[in-house]
Amino acid sequence: MGESLQDREVLAQTDSSNEFKILPDVILVGIGGHSIFDRGRAALLPLAEELSTARSQKHKMLLGVGGGTRVRHTLAIALDLGLPTGGIAQLVGAMEECNAVFLNALLAKHGSIVMQREHFWELPLYLSTGMLPIVISIPPYHFWEPPPEDGALPSHGSDFGLFIHAEVLGMKRIIFVKDEDGLYDRDPKKHADARFIPRTTLEALLADMPAELILDRQLFACWKDARHVEEVQIVNGLKPGMLLRALAGEPVGTIITKETRRG
Amino acid sequence: MVERRVIPSTLANLPLTGGETLPYEGVAMMPSVKVIKVGGQSIMDRGRAALFPLLQEIRTIKDQHRLLLTAGGGTRARHVYSVASELELPTGLLAALGGYVPRQNARMLQMLLAEDGGIYIMTDDFEKLPLYFRLGCIPVMTGMPPFGYWEKPSAEGRIPANRTDAGTFLSAEALGSTRVWFAKDEEGLYEDDPKKNPAAKLIRRIGAKELISRGLKDLIIERSALEYLTRSRYVREIQVFNALVPGNLTRALAGEAVGTIIYQD
């Protein structure tokens, strides 16, 4: 017990070939803030309906929400004020939590519940009673947000936060519900000739990362060292039925898989 | 497509997926605070013989500085990691479990410093630091950052990369301090583990990038803290010193080059 935890040999001994999976059969569904929530009723009500159908089909899901335009406004003001990166990270979760409450209001009659971080281990209870837990996506790095590689904005955003939530619980699949059909080589909102990518791998993306992405870069960086998440799917939540088809295992939208396995 | 209800701002229409560099002029929050980590295995686990003289030194100098003490984990944390690792539990779980021990140690420090203003704070109390300092308190908290279940999988092995050194460093960075202190049981950073190799050479001063590039097999400080030092905005130096030698803490806080200084290069 007296060994140094910085010793590379000691670290190597803690590697694993078959890490324990805590909740492998649960699918994480992340709903975009900017892409879905900011579009209000027209986007949200049909999606809420679809989520209630998914629940009645007995899909085990964990829902996550992004913060959207209020997060961006917070960041813009905080940057202008010169608040430290950790201070900025401390602020943004509140704007996401509003979206979690909005979604909870829409889904309450179908058994949704906003899962507070300190209730982490109530998750099995929610799932086994058929409820729809909604988590805050931003990871709780707060004042301790590591210095970013570039600029002053926190690099651990909501897509990353949902990814790591799925990973620690040993989940295999994440579905991100956005306002585009999936991943493109360029932002399709700005470039009419952007090329749609129906299927790709993490390795291909890391080798040749599109300049404009639909998910946080940090998610891909973290996925490289991850052991459980096998597949990230991006679907268009503005098109009815897409989420249900993705939950049923259909290859709609974009599917990103990881080729190299780390046990 | 349904329109978005957008608040206009400089970031309203950016992708915001990472790496954006925008105009920014940082404001340091409380740069006068001196963050000191009290080692877990190196100090706390040695008990009274190591800790009491150090606490006496803290009592003597406490009114000259604004001190924020953070606690390391030590042997019990290693035991937790060892059990969790054998069960092949994920890194995020190890990080959450590893958080219990430094909290115990912080509470021990608080009890022993209570008469002198020692006050145990949780990470959620960080924003109340100005009050504690105004009251002449010595806030004591865990060194562990609050990442817990959200800690990333490590590139090497499964021990969480961000433990009490990284958390202490990040506390200082959030406050805008320029230096952060680590009270350990060795003179400083050696080229090899001096506990195993008595001929190991002490490094007095070295740049963080240079140190990382040397790829030493073992280090006195977490690699993640070194990586953060290569790109931190405020913290410029990490000072590691031997807190078993009376007077070293006083000298280090006075700006003397005791122990090892790792700087941003």
Write the CB contacts of B159 (distance below 8 Å, at least 6 apart in sequence).
Answer: A5, A11, A14, B81, B85, B91, B94
CATH topology of domain A21-257: Carbamate kinase (3.40.1160)
Interface test with B, best of A23, A35, A69, A88 (most B CBs within 10 A): A69
Which has the closest alpha carbon to A228: A15, A20, A11, A13? Answer: A20
pLDDT band at A230 (very low <50, low <70, confident <90, very high): very high
pLDDT band at A211 (very low <50, low <70, confident <90, very high): confident
Give the number of beta-carbon pairs within 8 Å between A and B.
236
Number of domains chain B contains: 1
pLDDT band at A159 (very low <50, low <70, confident <90, very high): very high
Q: Is residue B234 part of a domain?
A: yes
Q: Which domain holds residue B137?
A: 33-263
Query: Is A3 in Cβ contact with B92 (below 8 Å)?
Result: no
Q: Give B-chain residues touching A136 at CB under 8 angstroms.
A: none
d(CA A24, CA A62): 12
Q: Name the more confident of B61 and A15.
A: B61
Query: Is A42 in Cβ contact with B158 (below 8 Å)?
Result: no
The pLDDT assigned to B22 comes to 85
DSSP single-letter state for residue A20: P
Measure CB to CB from residue A72 to each of B11, B78, B220 and give the nearest one. B11
3-state helix/strand/coil string of B137-176: CEEEEECCCCCHHHCCCCCCCCCCCCCHHHHHHHHHHHHC
When pLDDT is averaged across residues A156-178 and rounded to a whole number, the result is: 97
When pLDDT is averaged across residues A64-77 and rounded to a whole number, the result is: 95
Q: Give A-chain residues touching B180 at CB under 8 angstroms.
A: none
Closest residue in chain A to residue B165, using alpha carbons only: A6
Beta bridge partners of B242: B184
When pLDDT is averaged across residues A89-116 and rounded to a whole number, the result is: 95
Q: Is residue B18 part of a domain?
A: no
The answer to whether A105 touches A170, Cβ cutoff 8 Å, is no
The pLDDT assigned to A15 comes to 85
Write the CB contacts of A124 (distance below 8 Å, at least 6 apart in sequence).
Answer: A23
Q: Name the more confident of A197 and B16.
A: A197
The pLDDT assigned to A1 comes to 64
pLDDT over 90 at A90, yes or no = yes
Q: How many CB atoms lie within 10 A of CB A127?
A: 17
Q: Give A-chain residues touching B90 at CB under 8 angstroms.
A: 19-20, 22, 167-168, 170, 227-228
When pLDDT is averaged across residues A84-95 and rounded to a whole number, the result is: 95
Q: Give A-chain residues touching B231 at CB under 8 angstroms.
A: 147-149
- The greatest distance separating any two alpha carbons of chain B, rounded to the nearest whole angstrom, comes to 71
d(CA A244, CA A50): 7
Q: Is residue B38 part of a domain?
A: yes
Q: Give B-chain residues touching A222 at CB under 8 angstroms.
A: 152-153
d(CA B81, CA B87): 10
When pLDDT is averaged across residues A51-56 and rounded to a whole number, the result is: 96
Say whether the ipTM exceeds 0.85: yes
Which residue type sits at A164? I
Measure CB to CB from residue B152 to each of A18, A82, A222 and give the nearest one. A222
Write the CB contacts of A56 (distance below 8 Å, at least 6 apart in sequence).
Answer: none
The answer to whether B96 touches B126, Cβ cutoff 8 Å, is no
Q: How far is B27 from chain A (nearest CA, A)?
A: 5
The answer to whether A262 touches A225, Cβ cutoff 8 Å, is yes
d(CA A227, CA B137): 44
CA A95 vs. chain centroid, Å, equals 16
Q: Is residue B148 part of a domain?
A: yes
Domain boundaries, given as residue ranges, for chain A: 21-257
**Alpha helices per DSSP H over chain A:** 8-13, 41-56, 69-81, 85-107, 123-128, 158-168, 202-207, 217-225, 242-247
The pLDDT assigned to A16 comes to 83
Residues of chain B with pLDDT under 70: none
The pLDDT assigned to B127 comes to 97
DSSP single-letter state for residue B243: T
3-state secondary structure of A110: helix
Tens-digit pLDDT profile for residues A114-148: 999 889 999 999 999 999 999 989 999 999 999 99
Query: Is A150 in Cβ contact with B19 (below 8 Å)?
Result: yes
- Can you state the angle between helices B223-231 and B164-175, rounded to 10 degrees? 20
CA A116 vs. chain centroid, Å, equals 16
Measure CB to CB from residue A11 to each of B27, B156, B228 and give the nearest one. B156
Q: Give A-chain residues touching B91 at CB under 8 angstroms.
A: 168
